[in-house]
Amino acid sequence: SKNVYLFHEGRADMKALLGGKGANLAEMTNIGLPVPPGMTITTEVCKEYYRLGRKFPANLMQEVKEKLLYIEEKAGKKFGDPENPLLVSVRSGAMFSMPGMMDTILNLGLNEQTVSGLAKATDNPRFAYDAYRRFIQMFSDVVLEIPKHEFEYILARQKEEQGVSYDQQLSAESLRQIINDYKDLVQEKEDRPFPEDPMEQLTMAIEAVFRSWNNDRAIIYRNLHKISHDLGTAVNVQSMVFGNMGNDCGTGVAFTRNPSTGENILYGEYLTNAQGEDVVAGIRTPQPIAKLQGEMPAVFEQFKKTAYLLERHYRNMQDLEFTIERSKLYMLQTRNGKRTAQAAVKVAYDMVQEGLISKEEALMMVEPGQLDQLLHRQIDAKVELNVLAKGLPASPGAASGSVVFDADEAERLGKAGQKVLLVRTETTPDDIHGIIAAQGILTSRGGMTSHAAVVARGMGKPCVCGCEAMKIDYDRKIFAVGNTIVNEGDLISIDGATGRVILGSVTLKDPELSKEYLTILEWGDQVKRLGIRANADTPEDARKAREFGAEGIGLTRTEHMFMGQDRLPYVQKMILAETLEDRQEALSHLLPMQEGDFYGILKEMQGYPVCIRLLDPPLHEFLPSLEELLVETTELKITRNDPARLEEKEMLLKKVRSLHEFNPMLGHRGCRLGITFPEVYEMQIRAIFNASARLVKEGCKVLPEVEIPLTIDISEMKFFKERIDIIAKEVMAEYGVSFHYVSGTMIELPRAALLADELAEVAEFFSFGTNDLTQTTLGFSRDDAEGKFLTHYLEAKILKENPFITLDRKGVGKLMKQAVEGGRKTRPGLLIGICGEHGGEPSSVEFCHMISLDFVSCSPYRVPIARLAAAQAAI
């Protein structure tokens, strides 16, 4: 089969085979854009390379050579030609873009002969040596794996000797000297000279790109973004163009719109007389793209047109890489641009208004998980701040944390639960683990498209970059802004929306939701089929839920209401009661309080359904811990000054001991409490109906749903249903009103799922409690699994995802499907929802749509995410 494609043989939809970069280079070539000619070695070859135990398929290099002939012809230069050499870049490119995670080598094909040829052909020795120097440095890093800093040291020493501060100030002679020193270094490290044969260089470089698929940072990145490790990378070999031949040359990156705000203006940065990596590496702070208009008006016009054309072609905001060689524009990359949530929403909305895309396309363009970012609190503009400096607003959101200068340290402290801000001159892909651990990123160099900025935006992390006033001294672990010194460990804040760097922490306020955001969610509501409810235990939560667009409450947990300081004494009395009367007495105090709780929530929801779950957790959760009581009783025994209190505590201790369970998760909890102490559930049921009746009297609409947790059998349901109906009748008679109510059950144990057809004879609704259902189906106790063996299960790929985050479709999902079918066979149209944490996780929402649930319920802040995910599932 074919291992290598010339650019014109590919297409944009061949990303799996050619990688994103290769497929888009192909597409651009075929649209007729100025792309330097090249070829793509497929991802299949990479997979084959690993299958063969890190060996090339036999005919690979033969094919590469053949394709190279075509490229030579197109470029009018020959690879290895001492007169006018063709140089190539060797670029990685996987199916999903992983910016900067894998390796690229530029200027390949240079050696002692070709460098002279290049110097002569371009009449520019300085340029030729600069290209050679860069090549040796990149090749040694990526292919030979000699530590970078050894080369940087040589470069820095030469600059110092020459008394210059920028690379481009070095003369041809100095560069020649650097090359000699580089080569000596390679000889010393490798015990062989730097490879001179271009074909050998190319072979080694291709292999290095394959290897880079499995470097540490690429693996971390893929884990973070849930990209499969099996995809492999393609390799692009492309004829070089040069942005570093003089002042009519340059290189840059741009977005067709602002990736931070979404504003519709060409947005980007460039450097004159520079080569590729210089812009992203943050070595010199680049110029805003608008300046190009003044410097090279014709090129700017052409670039603008190209950008617009690509955006229309891909129907999405593009992220472009380009190089200008002697006033001629070349396109080197395009891809759908990564963007903040704010930008995603605005771009999607604007593109619909501009007639570029449909509403459905717009809905698919926003990642539901991203919306989270918009709901988070921001710096209150009205509060005075101690602003220390200002950088570029690279990724919005505010973050506070202690200053840390090193990625490893950030990771260490972050793992220990500390909030840190990673402060660097610039970041490199090697810092990825520190970026993950930090609250936010602050850099002193580099622009909006620098590595730090791109990665932070991808993760939705606040970032301020290019804060040049900040002078970092890594050795002393401080940074200075003017006379102010900030030490490692000091608390600072950044505001990624404005670029401000602030001393100390900051006050945050609720975000304002944009018109674009609200409109997109409304479009979503028009196409989605799933209902979206929220889990809310208080009227405040219920209000938030309504604000975010919830159409009901899917789960009100009543246990939180038992925890309040005014209630706990009565709850404890109820637990300690030895007789029914004593228990009734305690419950009579709790009844009005519960009634008040339900009144507040039902009122807030204005007739939207409110599903209230009766008491669920084991009773010991309402009592002090054994340890606590042992300490207290021992102290009281020693001091002997309060015998009454001692007696009380000893009683409590006895009760706690008697309630002790070996496995509380599977112990005396859920409706088992209601079976053994029916009066507790009866109190709760009465409280729900009293509240409902009062509201109806006041002219409010109510729709209470009484939910029985942890059932396993229809007999349990019958037991409660009988009581529910009796109490409802009593309350309605007492208040002289009537209202509609339903009763149903959670499905959270495998037996309930299996017997769903029977349960549905009595239950009028089901709600999947997938937290418990996951625990009991897998036999994993969540708290014991996470942080212990689950990590190993994920690393060993026994499980693909954490089943407590992403619903386990294969196992838990199978039970759910069966329960849905069973339930609806008995009771057609049975209302079924989900209220576990999965209800707000996009992939799980999709699954709920697929198995025809009626609603998902999640925490109020995740309601917008669920709304969008439900819309996407329906498209």
251 contacts ligand ADP (rule: CB under 6 A)? yes
Shortest spacing between CB 331 and ligand ADP, in angstroms: 10
Among the listed residues 747, 737, 740, the one whose alpha carbon sits nearest the alpha carbon of residue 832 = 747
β partners of residue 479: 472, 486
Structural tokens at position 661: 């369970």
Q: Is 386 annotated as a binding residue?
A: no
- Which residue lies nearer to ligand ADP by CB, 109 or 552? 109
Q: What is the closest distance, in whole angstroms, from the C-beta atom of residue 278 to ligand ADP in the complex?
A: 8
Write the DSSP assignment of 205-245 as a string of letters.
HHHHHHHHTTSHHHHHHHHHTT--TTS-EEEEEEE---S-S
How many CB atoms sit inside 10 A of residue 192's CB?
Answer: 9
Q: Which of 671, 835, 848, 858 is catalytic?
A: 835
Nearer to ligand ADP by C-beta: 91 or 849?
91
* x-marked contacts with ligand ADP along 321-340 as a string, rule CB under 6 A: x-x--------xx-------
Angle at 272 between CA 154 and CA 280, to 5 degrees: 65
CB of 712 to ligand ADP, least distance (A): 55
Task: Tell me the torsion sign for CA atoms 860, 862, 864, 868.
Answer: negative
Residue 451 is among the residues annotated as catalytic for this protein: yes
238 binds, among Mg ion, ligand ADP, none (CB under 5 to 8 A by kind): ligand ADP
Phi, psi of 11 (to 5 degrees): -150, 165
748 is in an annotated binding site: yes
**Residue 748 contact, options Mg ion, ligand ADP, none, Cβ 5-8 Å cut-off depending on partner type:** Mg ion
Give the C-alpha separation, 324 to 367, whole Å: 34
Question: Least distance from C-beta 49 to Mg ion, angstroms?
Answer: 22
Residue of 231, 254, 244 whose CA lies nearest to 175 = 244
CB-nearer residue toward ligand ADP: 275 or 395:
275
Helix (H, G, I), strand (E, B), or coil: what is residue 323?
strand
| 615 binding ligand ADP? (CB under 6 A) | no
Do 527 and 538 contact (CB within 8 A), yes or no?
no
Q: Pick the closer one to ligand ADP by CB: 14 or 755.
A: 14
Alpha helices per DSSP H over 213-335 = 216-224, 277-281, 290-295, 297-314
- Residue of 46, 249, 433, 451 with catalytic role: 451
Indicate the residue whose CB is closest to Mg ion.
772
Q: How far is the CB of 182 from Mg ion (least distance, A)?
A: 25
Task: Confirm or deny that 222 is annotated as ligand binding.
Answer: no
769 annotated as ligand-binding: yes
Closer of 19 and 434 to Mg ion (Cβ): 19
Shorter beta-carbon distance to ligand ADP: residue 177 or 323: 323
Binding segment (CB under 5 A) for Mg ion, from list 724-732, 752-760, 765-773, 802-810: 765-773
Per the annotation, the verdict on 229 as an active-site residue is: no
How far is residue 867's CA from residue 865's CA, in Å, rounded to a whole number? 5
Per partner kind, with CB cut-offs from 5 to 8 A, the member of Mg ion, ligand ADP, none near residue 89 is ligand ADP
Q: By CB under 5 A, is residue 823 in contact with Mg ion?
A: no
Pull the structure tokens for residue 393: 């607003």
Out of 241, 329, 448, 848, the only residue in the binding site for ligand ADP (CB under 6 A) is 241
Q: Is 556 a known ligand-binding residue?
A: no
Cβ 355 to Mg ion shortest distance, Å: 30
Q: Compute the radius of gyration of the chain from its Cα atoms.
A: 33
Judged on CB neighbours under 10 Å (0-12, 13-18, 19+), 311 is buried
- The residue length of the chain stands at 875
Contacts of 680 (CB under 8 A, 6+ apart): 574, 583, 587, 615, 673, 674
Binding partner of residue 373 among Mg ion, ligand ADP, none, CB under 5 to 8 Å per kind?
A: none
3-state secondary structure at position 658: helix
Interacting residues of 787 by C-beta distance below 8 A, sequence separation 6+: none
Per CB under 6 A, 89 contacts ligand ADP: yes
What residues numbered 103-162 form the site for ligand ADP, per CB under 6 A? 104, 106
770 is an annotated ligand-binding site residue: yes
Query: 856 - beta bridge partners?
Result: 532, 834
Name the site residues for ligand ADP (rule: CB under 6 A).
36, 89, 91, 99-100, 104, 106, 238-241, 251, 276-277, 321, 323, 332-333
Q: Which residues are annotated as a binding site for substrate?
A: 557, 613, 748, 769-772
Name the site residues for Mg ion (rule: CB under 5 A).
321, 333, 748, 769, 772
Q: Which residues are annotated as a binding site for Mg(2+)?
A: 748, 772
The residues annotated as belonging to the active site are: 451, 835
